[in-house]
Amino acid sequence: MKNQLEKLIREFIKKYQEDNDIESGWKEPLISYADASDKRFYKLKEIVSPSHAMPQDFLPGAKTVVSYFIPFEDFIVESNIEGRISSKIWARAYIETNKLIFDLNSYIKNELEKLGYKSNIIPATHNFDTTKLISDWSHRHVAYISGLGTFGLNNMLITEKGCCGRVGSFVTDLELEPSNIKEGENCLYKRNNVCKKCVARCVNAALKVESFNRHKCYEMCLSNAEVHSEIELSDVCGKCLVNLPCSTTNPVKLIDK
């Protein structure tokens, strides 16, 4: 069943690029699984927010949380390297990938229902407290529990295909074997106390080695949204994700060779 589900996800993303008026491009996704009863989900109420949802809040009887990472094509990543303002290509990719995630989760929900299983639809973003700027369902933290990657100094999830892309997830009552969680850190700073390039790339002084000011970060995201207002809400930046050792790959693979 796992192979069938993964085939559905991969084929949907591939066809989505071909059949829709899409300017963005995506590489093949990474997919991982977590037991919906994993005790670490309860830890998110301490780590993220007391209001962070549990899988069972979305779907009573939930058995599995499916997380996936959709990597951006290289041209999107490269477009956002220069300048203070995020590139229009990056902003559009953010919008189009968020729509892709919603449409993908809707499609999977329908396909699972045909097989006698239930799942839910969780949007890719904007399910957060606008004052605290904290999500009630952190796709990145859920993906970490699912074994999809580890957090970098830039607070992004570093997967085997880097951190430039979008993370999505959904909950289902289909029971699937949890993914193995890799030991160790993918972030070079957390692993070997080197790099820190993401800090230098933060254009609004929101990211420090010892702290992160989410309000200064969001301030920059809103500035970008204003610049790119003609292409829907693109409150995004991404400068601390590009031109890094972890942008499009797991940098640990390079130093461990």
pLDDT at 132 over 70: no
Give mean pLDDT, residues 151-162: 97
pLDDT of residue 233: 87
For the entire predicted model, the pTM comes to 0.94
Distance (Å, whole) CA 121 – CA 106: 6
pLDDT of residue 180: 86
Distance (Å, whole) CA 167 – CA 58: 18
- Of the listed ranges 104-118, 126-140, 221-235, the least confidently predicted one is 126-140
pLDDT at 225 over 60: yes
Distance (Å, whole) CA 139 – CA 146: 10
Q: Confidence band (pLDDT; 50, 70, 90) for 130?
A: low
pLDDT of residue 151: 97
Q: Where are the domains of the chain?
A: 2-252
Q: Which residues contact 166 (CB under 8 A, 6 or more apart)?
A: 69, 70, 94, 97, 98, 101, 124
